[in-house]
Chain A
Amino acid sequence: MDNIRSKAIVAVKDWGQWKAIIRHKALYMLMIPGILYLLINNYIPMFGIIIAFKNFNYTKGFLGSEWVYFNNFKYLFATGDAFIMTRNTLGYNAVFIIVNLFLSLAMALLLNEVRQNFAKRFYQTTLLLPFFLSMVVVAYLVYALLNPASGLVNMSILKPLGIEPVSWYLETKYWPYILVIANAWKGVGYGGVIYIAAITGIDTEYYEAATIDGAKKWQQIRYITMPLLTPVITIMTILSIGRIFYSDFGLFYQLPMQSGTLLPVVNVIDTYVYTSLTTLGDIGMSSAAGLYQSVVGFLLVLLSNLLVRKISPENALY
Chain B
Amino acid sequence: MESKKTNWLIHALFIFCSATAILPVLLVAAVSFSSESSINKYGYSFIPHEFSLFAYNYIFNDPHIIIRAYSVTIFVTIVGTLACLIITSALAYPLSRKTLPYRNFLTFFVVLTILFNGGLVPWYILFKTYLHFSDNIGALIVPGLMLNGFSVLIMRTFFINTIPPELIEAADMDGAGELRIFVQIVIPLSKPVYATIGLFATLAYWNDWYNSMLFQINPDNFSMQYVLQRILLNIQYLSQNTRSTNASSSLAALPAETSRMAMALIAAGPIILVYPFFQKYFIKGLTIGAVKG
Contact = CB atoms under 8 A, between A and B. Distances in A.
A24 interface: yes
B43 A45 contact: no
B43 A185 contact: no
A257 B271 contact: no
B120 A257 contact: no
B254 to A, nearest CB: 16
A42 B101 contact: no
A277 B120 CA distance: 9
Interface string A238-281: 00000000000110001001100000000000000110010000
Interface stretch (A2-10, A84-92, A172-180, A285-293): A285-293
Contacts of A317: 111, 114-115, 153
A131 to B, nearest CB: 9
A318 B122 contact: no
B217 interface: no
A167 to B, nearest CB: 15
Interface of B is mostly: helix
Contact of A257 (B17, B177, B233): B233
A283 B119 CA distance: 12
Interface in A143-193: 143-145, 147, 149-152, 154-156, 159, 185, 189, 193
Given A114-B11, A152-B43, A42 B113 contact: yes
B228 A26 contact: no
Interface stretch (A73-81, A94-102, A133-141): A133-141
Contacts of B25: 129, 133, 141
Interface residues of A, number: 100
B275 A132 contact: yes
B119 A49 contact: yes
Interface residues of B, number: 100
B179 A26 contact: yes
A20 B99 contact: yes
B158 to A, nearest CB: 14
A301 B287 contact: no
B118 A46 contact: yes
A226 interface: no
A126 B261 contact: no
Interface in B259-293: 260-261, 264, 267-268, 271-272, 275-276, 279, 282-283, 286-287, 290-291
Given A30-B182, A37-B87, A134-B268, 10 more contacts: A34-B152, A37-B147, A49-B118, A51-B122, A123-B14, A129-B275, A132-B203, A150-B43, A257-B232, A290-B120
Interface of B: 1-2, 7, 10-11, 13-14, 17-18, 20-22, 24-25, 27-28, 31, 39-40, 42-46, 86-88, 90-95, 97, 99-102, 106-126, 131, 143-144, 146-147, 149, 152-153, 177-179, 182, 203, 206-210, 225-226, 228-229, 232-233, 257, 260-261, 264, 267-268, 271-272, 275-276, 279, 282-283, 286-287, 290-291
Interface of A: 17, 20-21, 24, 26-28, 30-31, 33-35, 37-38, 40-49, 51-52, 62, 107, 110-111, 113-115, 119, 122-130, 132-137, 139-145, 147, 149-152, 154-156, 159, 185, 189, 193-194, 196-198, 200-201, 211, 216-217, 232, 236, 249-250, 254, 257-258, 273-274, 277, 283, 286-287, 290-291, 293-294, 297-298, 301-302, 317-318
